[in-house]
Copies of this chain bind each other. A is one copy, B any other.
């Protein structure tokens, strides 16, 4: 098997980095902070990751992969089915990756100049299109509204249980995107 030490250390670094990014924001977390939290040296972090942004990319990677899967799956659906699919899947992602959502929201000002996550950005725009379910600029804007809104609610960790967050996302997205 592949050496377990490598994966164990890498995983711990990513785990601690996510918590710190969420808590203080990407810009306010230093490599030293991450290293200390992960119980290793700063040099070790840079041994496993090419730089600070590479750590960020690793933190976002699982969510990015799931998002890519959702976007790809929705490609050969009808518009309406794709919208419905995007709504339910986005809510599940928000619940599953609520910590990551928080981080993403905060790094938006600098996200565009980090090549490691260009695909995530592109998929995010595609998700917005799917959620809108239409090319109407207003509906597209509302989809952006919905994205920011649910991601924003992920920022208050202790405030909602998983079930509450799921329900909140469900009601909010449907009111916004599927008004009766």
Contact = CB atoms under 8 A, between A and B. Distances in A.
A160 interface: yes
A172 B167 contact: no
Interface string A148-180: 111111011000100010011001100110011
Given A27-B28, A106-B106, A148-B148, A142 B168 contact: yes
A27 B21 CA distance: 13
Interface in A78-136: 105-106, 108-110
Report the copy number of this chain in the oligomer: 2
B180 A160 contact: no
Nearest to A150: B145
Contacts of A150: 145, 148
A23 interface: yes
Main DSSP-derived SS at the A contact region: helix
A146 interface: yes
Contacts of A179: 175, 179-180
Nearest to A141: B168
Interface string A136-148: 0110011011111
Given A25-B110, A172-B142, A152 B153 contact: no
A69 interface: no
B109 A28 contact: yes
Interface of A: 22-25, 27-28, 105-106, 108-110, 137-138, 141-142, 144-153, 155-156, 160, 164, 167-168, 171-172, 175-176, 179-180
